[in-house]
Amino acid sequence: MYVQGFLVAVPQDKKDAYREVAEKAATKFIEYGVIEIVESWEEDVTDGKVTDFRMATKAQPDEKIVFSWMIWPDKATCDAASEKMQDDPFWSQDFDMPFDGKRMIWGGFTPIFISGRE
């Protein structure tokens, strides 16, 4: 299993637009082999004294944090999907992104502990 995680600040009034873009992208990631995608809208994000999600994304007062992850069967499948994205015309569409992509944080992770899954 391999996990890609994402963190982004999205204007509150763009929630539906964000979901629409996320759903379109999800169809492609599923074609590429992703097992699961979770898109989570801020409900309870506490302000920290040293750092927090809002500081990490330089969120503005009118923005909400989106915390998302994709689960791949393995890193090789994720890497192959990344290669496919380079030549797939789907990604060259003019998406009206409802957030500032320069403030998006993402990374890939190998799980070291999983609880509650069979």
| 49-100 tens-digit pLDDT | 999 999 999 999 999 999 999 999 999 999 999 999 899 988 887 778 899 9
pTM over 0.85, yes/no? yes
**Structure tokens that stand for 83 in this block:** 């290669």
**Predicted local distance difference test score (pLDDT) of residue 49:** 93
Picking from 73, 79, 8, 6, the residue whose alpha carbon sits closest to that of residue 36 is 73
Q: Residue 78: exposed, middle, or buried by beta-carbon count in 10 A (0-12, 13-18, 19+)?
A: buried
| Confidence at 101, pLDDT banded by 50, 70, 90 | confident
Q: Which tokens hold the place of 86?
A: 């380079």
